[in-house]
Each structure stands twice: as structure tokens, then as C-alpha cells.
Amino acid sequence: MVSWPHWLVTIIIVPLVGAVLTPVVGRGRPKVIPIWALGIMTATSLAALMLIIRVAQEGPFSYLVGGWARPYGIELHFDEFSASVGIICLVGWLALLFSYHYVAETIPARRVPYFYTLVLLNLTGMIGFVVTGDLFNLFVFLEILSLSAYALVAVSGEHIAEMAAFKYLVMGAVSSIVVLLSIGLLYSVTGSLNMADIASRLAGVEQRLPVMLALAGLAMSFMVKAALFPLHIWLPDAHSIAPSPVSAILSGLVVKVGVFGLLRVYQIFYGAGTYDLTGLNTALVWLGAISIVMGAFFAIFQEDIKMMLAYSTISNIGYIVMGLGLASQYSLIGATVHIFNHALIKGTLFLAAGAIIHKTGYRTLTDLRGVGKAMPVTCMAVSIGAISIVGIPPTAGFLCKWYIALGAFQAGKPAFGIALIFGALFIFIYYIRMVNSFYFQKPTHPEILEVGEAPLSMLIPILVLATLCLVMGILGRIPISFIEPAVIRMLGPFGG
């Protein structure tokens, strides 16, 4: 039996090696590729599951790669927040399953192996990002996942895909550089790259200016990655043009990396304890609130369903960021749990939208009228996702609303709680348009009624995610009680 911490390396190494080997394994055997990719992700998921169980039982633990002691070596650190690997593996696995038929039919055959390589690399990057304990590795993993994401947006070869990918690349690359610059600044004042180490050394740093610059840089660039309004302009095109399983990954997981980065920044600075983060908090709360409203506002005018979903991601990121900015115990719990729940919900919606577009060939609300009768199961999943994202209990989306609103009162800023609750109504307007169009309106194209359900490889991921949207709403206490100790630990002396 390998000792426990080694599992921590496997969840990075296995998909990384798997990704690189995909084109080799698949040479001349195109049918093997998806199974290979699924196998790799299954192995990774099992390892991740064991790590999550362990962190639930024993609390955070670290692994020093190569055995070099902190701060010289590379440290992998697995805490409760790192349990996000669970959702990364889950959504990643389901998206790969969804791709089984989807990719074979939509992407040119010669690109298929590279598609799987890129997806696996992307997942590797995210897994690495959430488990690393070292700032520079954070940057490296950020780049792995960003680069693969840019390429994945372009992979479909559709008309404006490259343009969207380029726009995404430019904004993403600029923010990555700023991350690197900020890491350099932090290194210059603390002489360390290990996050925990930096946190403990920051308290003693006398020059505040570079530290504040680094904080601003990190916050800013993670906001770009998280597509917070007004830094969101890259998101709608990229998310709606990418192949649907990729959209699910991008929207459910990749934008969360930005939020997760913010969370790590907070961990460092709360850990340091001597920095006044009020300014950043205020900025985040306001930007979060504006994102909720603006995301919903733009979504109302969209006809393309994937475009609508993309804008709704901006709203939801707004929830999470607002929760972070409120910085009270409840709001942080709500925000972190919503990172998880939103991935489920948006995964459901994007995969279902993908199945619908794939089967019917249409993607606007007008064209898709009446599709609910043709694809009842998929459209039921869309309805569950819609109810969930609006936050009607007992679905997964409700928990975050409840906790962040409660957190707003706890933080003494009830106005934001009110904004959140009523902002959610705004979101409902466009989802009800979608449900109306799918179920209750006379078809624009009568032949749409002849379309059958998608193949099982697409249906199963959709159903699994939709079911989880309901189950995680009812069993909300499980993720909440899991994350609670981490939040309390993070807030530390500030604990509100």
C-alpha cells in the first residue's frame, strides 16, 4: 500500500501523462481514444475520492514533492477547498462521456485525439491549481489550463471560433502575466513562494506598497479569469462557440479557477492577519452585485440558448464573488458551496443545450419551440437546471442564495442580501422564456417534433447532473458541514 500523501501526486500525474499519451494510444485506433480518456479520468477520480475522504476525516495535509522541505521544495497542499477536485473530476468525467458520440460527429477526425488531449490537460491544470501549495506552481497550472482552454474554444473550427478564442487568449494572457508579476512582487518582499510561508512572513513585511500592488494585481487578474463584470467581455463568445462538453467545462469549472484564485489570495492575506482588506472586499461586493444584474440583463436579450447560458454564468460568478467580498462566515460558506453547485447546474444546462442543438440543428429560442415534446428527458433536465439556477428550493442553487443572504445580514450589509434575492428574479425572466419556448409554444419548425432523444452517452451525463442538482439541494448540509471548518479556519481572528 502506497502511503496516503502519494495519492496527491497521482491526481496530477495520471491525467497529465494520460493527456500526453492520448494521440499515441489513439494512433490508428480512433475508437479507443474516448475510452482511454474516460479510463484516465476514472483513475483520477478514484484517487481524488480517497483524498477527499481523508481530508474529511483528518483535515488538511501536505505532500512535499521530492521530499524537499518548505520553502525550498514544491509543496502540494490538500485542504477542504481543494476538495473541488471532486467536482472537477465529476464534471470532467461526465463531459468526456458526453463527448463520446458528440465529438465523433462534430469535430474533424484528425483533431479528435488532440481534443481529448486538451480536455485532459485542462482538467490536469485545474486539479493542479486547486491542490498546489506553491504560488509559482499556481501560475504554471493556471497557464496549463488557460492555454488548453483557448485551444478548446477554437477546436470546433466553426466560423468565428478562432476569433473568440483569440479574444479569450489576449485577455487571459494579460491577466496571467499580471499574476506572474504579482507573484514576483510577493517573492521580492517575502523571499518565498510557498503560500503558507508567505502568509506567515507577510505580517513582518515593512514595505506595504509592493504587497498592496501584488494584492491588486492578483485580484484584478483573477477577476478577469472569473469573468466578473466589466472584465467579462471574452466570456460569452468563447463559451457559446466552444463545443458543448467544453462549454460545460469552461463555464462550470474554468471560470471558477478565477474565483478559486481569489479564495487562495484571501487565504494568504487573512493568514497574514495584518492587512486591511476592506477596500478589496467592498470592490468585490459591488462588482459581484453589478455582475448579477448585468449578466441577467444581457441574458434577457439573447436568442441563442448557449449565449444565454454564458451570460447567466456571469450572474452566478457575481453571487460567488459577492459572497467572498462579504467576508462573513455564512457568505463564504455560501460562496464556496456555490462554486460546487454552480458547476453541477451549469454542467446540466450546457450539456442539455448541447444535446438539443446537436439533435435539432437549431440554437435559438424561436427555432427551438416545441422541442420539449420531442426530447422530454433532456428538456426536463433543462427545467431542473433552470429552477435550480434561479434558486428555487429545494434545488442546489437555493443554498447559496440562502447562505449569502444570511451572510449579508451577518456582515451588516443587508442591502446586498436584498440585491441578491431580487437579482435572482431577474434571472428567472429569461429562463422562463426558455421553458415557455421549449414546452408551451407552437413549433416554428414542425419537423422538430420528429427529433428523438440524444444517445445514452449524452443522456446519462445530463441526467446524472440534473439529479445531483436536486439531491445536493436537499442534502445541502453535507457540503456545508464539510466546508465549514475550513472557512472558520480561514477567517481566523476575523471570524464573524
Partner 1 sequence: MLTALWNNLDYAAPMMLFLIGLYAVIAKDNLIKKFMGLNIMETAVFAFIMALGVVDGGSAPIIDHGAHAPFTNPIPQALILTGIVVALSTTALALSLIIRIYEQCGTIEGNELRELG
Partner 2 sequence: MEVVDIRPILAPMLSLVCAGLIFLTGRQAFWRRMWSLLAAALKLGVVMSMLPGTLNGTIYVFKLTDFTPGIGLGFRVDALGMFFAIVSSTLWLLTTIYAIGYMEPEESKVRFFGFFALCVSTTVGIAFAENLLTLFLFYESLTIVTYPLVIHEETPAAFKAGKKYLVYTLIGGAFILLGTVLTYHTAGTLTLSKPGILTLANGTQTLTLLFVTLIAGFGVKAAIMPLHGWLPTAMAAPTPVSALLHAVAVVKAGAFGILRVIYNVFGVELLRQLNLTVWLAWLAAFTILTASFIALFQDNFKRRLAYSTVSQLSYIILGAALLTPMAAMAAIVHIANQAFAKITMFFVAGAIQRKTGKTSIREFAGIGYQMPYTMGAFTVAALSFVGVPLFAGFITKWYLSLGALEAGAWWFVVVMIASALLNAAYFLPIVYLAYFKAPPGTRFHVDEAPLTLLIPTVICALYVIVLGTTAEVPWMPLSLARTAVQFFFGT
Q: Residue 194's beta-bridge partner residues?
A: 134
Shortest distance in whole angstroms from residue 364 CB to partner 2: 19
Of 81 and 398, nearer to partner 2 (C-beta) is: 398
Binding segment (CB under 8 A) for partner 1, from list 138-146, 327-335, 401-409, 469-477: 138-146
Residues facing 132 on adjacent strands: 76
- In the bound state with partner 1, the residue whose beta carbon lies nearer, of 188 and 274, is 188
Q: Is there binding between residue 486 and partner 2 (CB under 8 A)?
A: no
Q: In this chain, which of 379, 405, 459, 487 binds partner 2, going by CB under 8 A?
A: 405
Q: Does 257 bind partner 1 (CB under 8 A)?
A: no
The residue among 67 and 452 lying less far from partner 2, judged by its C-beta, is: 452
Nearest alpha-carbon partner for 448 in 353, 374, 377, 354: 374
- Measured CA to CA, the distance from residue 337 to residue 306 in angstroms comes to 24
Helix (H, G, I), strand (E, B) or coil at 6: helix
Length of the chain: 496
Query: Which positions from 395 through 434 interact with partner 1, judged by CB under 8 A?
Result: none
Q: In this structure, how many other beta carbons lie within 10 angstroms of the beta carbon of residue 414?
A: 12
Strand partners, 65: 74
Q: How far is the CB of 139 from partner 2 (least distance, A)?
A: 36
Looking at the Cβ atoms of 71 and 476, the one nearer to partner 2 is 476
Exactly one of 399, 464, 465, 472 binds partner 2 (CB under 8 A); that residue is 399
Figure out which of the listed residues 90, 119, 131, 151 binds partner 1, where binding follows CB under 8 A: 151
Question: Is the Cα torsion angle 168, 171, 174, 175 positive or negative in sign?
Answer: negative
Q: Which residue type sits at 341?
A: N
Which residue number, 258 or 288, has a Cβ lying nearer to partner 1?
Answer: 258
Partner in contact with 180, chosen from partner 1, partner 2, none, beta carbon below 5 to 8 Å by kind: partner 1
The H helix count followed by the E strand count for the chain is 20, 2
- CB of 155: closest distance to partner 1 in angstroms? 11
Burial 82-100 (b: 16+ CB within 10 A, else e): bbbbbbbbbbbbbbbbbbb
Residue 229 φ/ψ, nearest 5 degrees: -60, 135
**Helix H or strand E segment including 194:** none
Closer CB to partner 1, 179 or 349, in the complex:
179
Site residues (CB under 8 A) for partner 2, limited to 464-483: 474-477, 480-481
Nearer to partner 1, 162 or 453 (CB): 162
Q: Which of 143, 303, 304, 453 binds partner 1 (CB under 8 A)?
A: 143
Residue 436 binding: pick among partner 2, partner 1, none (C-beta 5-8 Å cut-off by kind): partner 2
The reply to whether 166 sits near partner 2 by the rule CB under 8 A is: no
> For the window 432-471, what string marks contact with partner 2 as x by the rule CB under 8 A?
x---x--xxxx-----------------------------
Which of partner 1, partner 2, none binds 61 (CB below 5-8 Å, type-dependent)? none
Does 401 engage in binding with partner 2 (CB under 8 A)? yes
Q: Choosing among partner 2, partner 1, none, which partner's interface includes residue 170 (Cβ < 5 to 8 Å by kind)? A: partner 1
**How many whole angstroms separate alpha carbon 253 and alpha carbon 397?**
16
Q: From 33-41, 133-141, 234-242, 410-418, give the range in contact with partner 1 by CB under 8 A.
A: 133-141
We find the least distance from the C-beta atom of residue 239 to partner 1, in angstroms, to be 17
What is the rounded distance in angstroms from the CA atom of residue 103 to the CA atom of residue 268? 41
Q: Say how far residue 233 (Cα) sits from the centre of its chain.
A: 17
Q: At what angle do helices 112-131 and 85-106 cross, to 10 degrees?
A: 170
**For residue 156, what is the DSSP state?**
T
The answer to whether the CB of 264 falls within 8 A of the CB of 202 is no
496 forms part of the interface with partner 2 (CB under 8 A): no
Cα–Cα distance between 458 and 144 in angstroms, integer? Answer: 27
403 binds partner 2 (CB under 8 A): yes
Q: Report how many residues bind partner 2 under the rule CB under 8 A.
A: 34
Cβ proximity to partner 2: between 114 and 409 the closer is: 409
DSSP 315-372: HHHHHHHHHHHH-SHHHHHHHHHHHHHHHHHHHHHHHHHHHHHHHHS--BTTTTTTHH
Q: Is 165 in the site for partner 1 (CB under 8 A)?
A: yes
H/E element, 72: none
DSSP code of residue 437: I
What x-and-dash track marks residues 168-187 binding partner 1 by CB under 8 A?
A: -xx--xx-xx--xx--x--x
SS3 304: strand
Pick from 31, 110, 159, 442: which binds partner 1 (CB under 8 A)?
159
The DSSP annotation for 117-130 comes to HHHHHHHHHHHHHH
Q: Which residues bind partner 2 (CB under 8 A)?
A: 387, 392-394, 398-399, 401-403, 405-406, 409-410, 414, 417-418, 421-422, 424-425, 428, 432, 436, 439-442, 474-477, 480-481, 484
Q: Which residues bind partner 1 (CB under 8 A)?
A: 136, 139-140, 143, 147, 150-151, 154, 159-160, 162-163, 165-166, 169-170, 173-174, 176-177, 180-181, 184, 187-188, 193
